[in-house]
Amino acid sequence: MDRRRLPDGRHQWLVSSVQAVLATGAGLTVITSCSNVVSDRHWLATEYVWFLIPYMIYDFYAMYLCEWCRTKDQNLRRATIIRNFLIENRLMVTHHAVILFFLVPISQRSYRWVKLRSSGLWAAIAFTG
């Protein structure tokens, strides 16, 4: 057995489970520590993002690799594998895209179109989402 990876995708499952526990804990910490979660700011809301962004990129890539390994015997082109991956994992791809491209930027800075000061609320939503 190859010692560099665990069989049956358990490595990805373990990393995802640890991330889920840490993200939920961070979101709950932000929510419970702020007296007014809409306007207050918690240090964890800013700092946890530096762990969240690389994890989301890793998770997206790991999901793609699982799809690639599943279909490698079929001799499909890379574009076909990517298309199948995006179609079959539409909800998970949307989940990662919304967190990375909308909730993280909103949680980090204030946007005029949001009309809210950058608060712990957006970070808590991103972390527990």
List pLDDT tens digits, range 55-102.
Answer: 888 888 888 888 888 888 888 888 888 898 999 989 989 988 888 888
Q: In this structure, are residues 39 and 119 in contact, taking their beta carbons and an 8 Å threshold?
A: yes
Predicted local confidence at residue 33, as pLDDT = 86
Task: Note whether residue 92 is domain-resident.
Answer: yes
Structure confidence at residue 124 as a pLDDT band (50, 70, 90) = low
Task: Note whether residue 1 is domain-resident.
Answer: no
What residue numbers bound the domain in which 51 lies? 10-128
Q: In this structure, are residues 120 and 30 in contact, taking their beta carbons and an 8 Å threshold?
A: yes
pTM over 0.85: no
List pLDDT tens digits, range 11-69.
Answer: 677 887 888 888 888 888 888 887 877 777 778 877 887 888 888 888 888 888 888 88
Domain count, the chain: 1
Give the whole-angstrom CA distance, residue 119 versus residue 129.
Answer: 16
Q: How far is CA 6 from CA 13, 57, 59, 64, in A?
A: 10, 20, 16, 17
How far, rounded to the nearest angstrom, does the alpha carbon of residue 45 sit from its chain's CA centroid?
A: 15
Torsion, CA 122, CA 123, CA 125, CA 129, rounded to 10: 140
Task: Note whether residue 3 is domain-resident.
Answer: no
Task: Note whether residue 2 is domain-resident.
Answer: no
Q: How far is CA 46 from CA 68, 72, 120, in A?
A: 34, 40, 9
Give the whole-angstrom CA distance, residue 103 versus residue 122.
Answer: 6
Give the whole-angstrom CA distance, residue 64 versus residue 85.
Answer: 7
Give the whole-angstrom CA distance, residue 33 versus residue 48.
Answer: 15
For residue 110, is pLDDT > 80?
A: no
